[in-house]
Structure 1
Amino acid sequence: MSYKMQILQAIVNHTVFNLGSHSNMDNCVHIGYGIDDAYTRCMGTSIASICKNNKDEHLIFHILAGKLREENIQKIKQLADDFSVEVNLYFLDESVFQGLPTQVHFPLSIYYRYILPMILDVPRVLYLDADIICLGSLNKLCTLDLKGNIIGAVPDTEWMEIRRNRALNLQNHQYFNSGVLLMDIVKWNQFNTLDQVIHSLAKEPEKFRYPDQDALNLVLVGKVYYLSDCWNHLNIKKEQQEESIFLHFAAHPKPWNIAWTLSDNCNDFTKDLFLTYEQLTPWRNEPLLLPKNYKEMKNYAYCLFKNGQILDGIQWYIKYLKSKLVTK
């Protein structure tokens, strides 16, 4: 059985919320996410921000997930109803990706983006990481000519490019961030991209520090149309605020974590931005999250130390050491 068939058979359920009358229109904007329970909340905020800033676009969302709590499923349904937008929810048998490399901050759901071109019979789909919010119109991106390339993506930071190109032994390649991917579905499938990235990951799993992203960079050399960084601002600067379309909260802590306002990533512009859009969702008014793994505990401890909260910092650093010993 081909890997494509295994993937298609791994879709155990497909539910459509608020089926729109424009589903078959040629000018629909198809947007996809790959999530687990931990990222459902921020994905809801991402969808709300897109709907809020693109009221004239015909939006259709596609969400791929493993298992989700019933509470989150109902909130996704409510979100679709609140914005009168079509949301497709696909549940996957995660065993199809067993054996691929994962890490604390990189669960199996990072690979779900690979599936979107396999299940959608449309010309292109825009994949977004769930921790991205939209601050403007998508019109220019949706009508962009990819010049024959398989994807459109934004170059990563300079230090990341140097480090990852060296690790992957890539020459004359501009390393891109996979948080925003404009996918040409026909070309993706013609190139057999899915099989190529899965084969690379399975062959040398220890090679990939950022598994899904590294594998895409390795396979798609010379097949990328590079987008302006306004479509994937990783660390927004003051001079970029007005031009930014997608703000990507890629680093930790996240804006829904208790450590957010103590971190260097938080500034006057970004401080309340995520929570402002979250108020438009069924997840509104949920409490900020405490650290849930040893990496987040360490980060929170350092934030507390830096802000002069020494005793609290010591307590969380001890929790970090205990959690790391158990995890290792």
Structure 2
Amino acid sequence: MTEPINLLVTLDAGYLPPLKVMLWSLYANNRRQVVHVWLVHEKLTDAQIASVRALTDGLGWQLTALPVKIDLTDQPALIKRYPPAMYFRLLCGQVLPKDVHRVIYLDPDIIVINDITPLWQLDLQGKMLAASAHRGVTKLVDSVNQLRLGTNTSYFNSGVLVIDVDQAREKIRLADITEAIETYHDSLILPDQDILNFLYGEAIMEIDEEVWNYDTRKYLIYQTRNLTQHDIHWVMAHTVILHYCGTPKPWDATSDSKFTSLFLNYQQQVDRFLA
């Protein structure tokens, strides 16, 4: 395919190793696709960026690193205590060049195990964003979060997003985000995700979590919800994005879940490639 996928990642230095695993898994399962990685960061060093570029160059991809400094000096201490990187994915419209019209955002604690092209080509039907809602067996989590945040939409996970950047440029403002944090801080549990849902939930199109944002902690829940039909064979054939939500992370020594070995295998592959 000639048009590159614009992939947005925002992180600090601590997540560079898993980022490389995520990028390698995307390459391994999308070898015909060209990717432009937009690395938005606050204070990565040149050497740290070069370590990512060694991988993207080896894959034949383009990497653009964009250092961003959000000025919060005039904001209350409550807002200053949140890491500035929290704002980067939502404010991508203010950061990315004007000729970037769409991006896929992925958290670094993710691996891609099938073709991501349908997500890139997704018809947003006029919505600004696409995201998945992580639910249990029932929709109780939606009801709880609707009550907590005063919303009437599903509660969306912010780890995988398709973003209409043109709409984001027009509609997402730092002032709105900081005002919401200051006003509703007592109700916030996951500030970036809560703000996404509180301010922009109506602008999100829901996509299937078991395909596009599979919470690896919830294998048994997914099995129960689908009457055991979505077993590990179904996951490997149909799921595109595995998201290692929560702790421990798969690169931690204490991790020993059904999906740990899959991550570690991709980790070995990218380490050998870079070596």
Q: TM-score range by the shorter chain?
A: 0.7 to 0.9
Alignment of 1:220-231 (within 5 A): 220-229=200-209, 230-231=211-212
- Deviation for aligned residue 1:52: 1.4
Aligned match of 2:196 in 216, 219, 235? 216
- Residues 33-55 of structure 1: CA distance to partner in whole angstroms, max 9, x if unpaired? 11011111111111111111111
Separation (CA, whole Å) in 1 of partners of 2:78 and 2:54: 34
In the other structure, the counterpart of 1:234 is 215
Give the direction of change, closer, same or farther, for the CA distance of 1:222–1:93 in structure 2 (3 Å limit).
Answer: closer
In the other structure, the counterpart of 1:191 is 171
- What is the CA RMSD across the aligned residues, in angstroms? 2.6
After TM superposition, the score normalised by the length of structure 2 is 0.82
- Deviation for aligned residue 1:169: 1.7
Aligned match of 2:17 in 41, 47, 62? 41
In the other structure, the counterpart of 1:124 is 102
In the other structure, the counterpart of 1:295 is none
In the other structure, the counterpart of 1:109 is 85
In the other structure, the counterpart of 1:91 is 67
Separation (CA, whole Å) in 2 of partners of 1:136 and 1:100: 41
Aligned match of 2:265 in 276, 281, 285? 276
**Does 2:13 match 1:32?**
no
Separation (CA, whole Å) in 2 of partners of 1:234 and 1:175: 14
Structure 1 contact 254–260 (Cα < 8 Å) conserved = yes
Separation (CA, whole Å) in 2 of partners of 1:74 and 1:87: 10
Give the direction of change, closer, same or farther, for the CA distance of 1:111–1:282 in structure 2 (3 Å limit).
Answer: farther
How many equivalent pairs are there? 252
Give the direction of change, closer, same or farther, for the CA distance of 1:93–1:187 in structure 2 (3 Å limit).
Answer: closer
Separation (CA, whole Å) in 2 of partners of 1:233 and 1:144: 18
Separation (CA, whole Å) in 2 of partners of 1:125 and 1:206: 32
Give the direction of change, closer, same or farther, for the CA distance of 1:271–1:52 in structure 2 (3 Å limit).
Answer: same
- Residues 234-291 of structure 1: CA distance to partner in whole angstroms, max 9, x if unpaired? 1353343421100000110001111112xxxx11xx1211111122335989xxxxxx
Structure 1 contact 41–283 (Cα < 8 Å) conserved = no
Separation (CA, whole Å) in 1 of partners of 2:80 and 2:108: 18
Higher RCO (C-alpha 8 Å, min separation 6): 2
CA radius of gyration, larger in: 1
Aligned match of 1:140 in 118, 141, 147? 118
In the other structure, the counterpart of 1:7 is none
The one-letter code matched in structure 1 to 2:267 is E
Give the direction of change, closer, same or farther, for the CA distance of 1:95–1:39 in structure 2 (3 Å limit).
Answer: farther
SS of the counterpart of 1:31? strand
- Deviation for aligned residue 1:70: 5.4
Q: Which deviates more, 46-55 or 186-195?
A: 186-195
Separation (CA, whole Å) in 1 of partners of 2:215 and 2:12: 22
Structure 1 gaps of 5+ residues are 1-21, 286-328
In the other structure, the counterpart of 2:146 is 165
Structure 2 contact 101–164 (Cα < 8 Å) conserved = yes
Give the direction of change, closer, same or farther, for the CA distance of 1:48–1:223 in structure 2 (3 Å limit).
Answer: same
The one-letter code matched in structure 2 to 1:128 is L
Give the direction of change, closer, same or farther, for the CA distance of 1:67–1:191 in structure 2 (3 Å limit).
Answer: closer
Structure 2 contact 72–80 (Cα < 8 Å) conserved = no
Separation (CA, whole Å) in 2 of partners of 1:181 and 1:255: 22
In the other structure, the counterpart of 1:205 is 185
SS of the counterpart of 1:260? coil
Structure 2 gaps of 5+ residues are 220-230
Separation (CA, whole Å) in 2 of partners of 1:189 and 1:142: 19
Give the direction of change, closer, same or farther, for the CA distance of 1:57–1:195 in structure 2 (3 Å limit).
Answer: farther
After TM superposition, the score normalised by the length of structure 1 is 0.70
- Residues 72-96 of structure 1: CA distance to partner in whole angstroms, max 9, x if unpaired? 3332121122212111112233554
SS of the counterpart of 1:216? helix
Give the direction of change, closer, same or farther, for the CA distance of 1:101–1:192 in structure 2 (3 Å limit).
Answer: closer
In the other structure, the counterpart of 2:55 is 79
SS of the counterpart of 1:155? coil
SS of the counterpart of 2:215? coil
The one-letter code matched in structure 2 to 1:169 is G
